[in-house]
Amino acid sequence: MDIGQIQREIHVIMNQWKEQNIVKPNGVLVIGCSTSETAGEHIGTSGSTEIAATIYAELEAFQKETGVAFAFQCCEHLNRALVIERRVQENMRLDEVSAVPHPKAGGSMATYAFEHMEDPVLVEEIQADYGMDLGDTFIGMHLKKVAVPLRFKQNSLGHAHATFAYTRPKLIGGERAIYRK
């Protein structure tokens, strides 16, 4: 595992988000991340705080620049609950759930986020504006309708497959409707 390579790749990924020019302040970006897959191991088998810290540092810089909020998806042992800041939970009127993630129930990335956010809470679900899935963790349940895939040149992080999406309003009304760009 080359931490320097992971740092460079997550930096490129976050720059690709900036280049899309779609991330808005106060939007929510849901992040599913398997640090095991990033390290080249099977999901859920080799979590890494070092990888989580490297990714989190880059995400934090992106957050300061864009104003986006993050929702870190836990693993299936916490039913894919999400770590978010309390202010986001209150603004979105989401119900808090009682659990604290740890590497074996929540995953290393969600645990690291919980330990480093200002006032973290867990919520069961969210409808995020953007999504980033690092290691095929399946974040789709936490995206607003309609999810639109983004194709980035940097589509892996370490050994993990990476996918990205944004959401747009539903197109309704049929053939007579006019839509804004």
User: Does any domain span residue 176?
Assistant: no
CA 54 to chain centre: 14
pLDDT higher than 80, residue 5 = yes
Q: What mean pLDDT is predicted for residues 76-95?
A: 96
Domain range for 55 is 3-167
User: Does any domain span residue 118?
Assistant: yes
CATH number of the domain bearing residue 27 = 3.40.50.10360
* pLDDT tens digits, 62-77: 999 999 999 999 998 9
User: Does any domain span residue 50?
Assistant: yes
CA distance 62 to 14: 7
- Paired tokens of 67: 């104003």
Q: pLDDT value at position 132?
A: 98
User: Does any domain span residue 175?
Assistant: no
User: Does any domain span residue 68?
Assistant: yes
> Do residues 16 and 154 make contact, with C-beta atoms less than 8 angstroms apart?
yes
User: What pTM was estimated for this model as a whole?
Assistant: 0.94
* pLDDT tens digits, 93-104: 999 999 999 999
Q: Are strands 160-167 and 156-157 parallel, antiparallel or unpaired?
A: antiparallel
Structurally, the chain folds into a number of domains equal to 1
User: Does any domain span residue 172?
Assistant: no
Q: How does the average pLDDT of the chain come out, rounded?
A: 95
* pLDDT tens digits, 147-174: 999 999 999 999 999 999 999 999 888 8
